């Protein structure tokens, strides 16, 4: 494949961008957060009470 191939140029640019992204990530990310915006002292899953959905009957 020639070096001036458009697909190859875009693929190499994509690889370089992904490499920069991975280098920007911390080596030791620490503890994962469960759920968006959590972390207010909660150390585990939040229990949810699920109630059954009533079935509709046809007339």
pLDDT digits (tens, 9 = 90+) for 4-45: 899 999 999 999 999 999 999 888 877 776 666 655 565 667
For the chain, the domain total comes to: 1
Residue 8: inside a domain, yes or no?
Answer: yes
Residue 50: inside a domain, yes or no?
Answer: no
pLDDT at residue 19, rounded to an integer? 94
Residue 19: inside a domain, yes or no?
Answer: yes
Answer yes or no: are the C-beta atoms of 34 and 45 closer than 8 Å: yes
pTM: 0.46
Answer yes or no: are the C-beta atoms of 12 and 6 closer than 8 Å: no
Residue 41: inside a domain, yes or no?
Answer: no
Measured CA to CA in angstroms, residue 35 lies from 25, 27, 30, 40, 57 at distances of 20, 22, 16, 12, 36
Residue 10: inside a domain, yes or no?
Answer: yes
Residue 59: inside a domain, yes or no?
Answer: no
What is the C-alpha separation between 44 and 31, in angstroms, rounded? 12
pLDDT at residue 51, rounded to an integer? 85
Write out the residue range of the structural domain in which residue 20 sits. 1-25
């Amino acid at each position: 494949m020639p070096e001036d191939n458009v697909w190859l140029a875009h693929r190499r640019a994509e690889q370089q961008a992904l490499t920069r992204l991975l280098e920007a990530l911390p080596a030791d990310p620490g503890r994962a957060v469960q759920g968006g915006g959590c972390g207010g002292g909660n150390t585990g899953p939040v229990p949810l009470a699920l109630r059954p959905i009533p079935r509709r009957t046809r007339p």
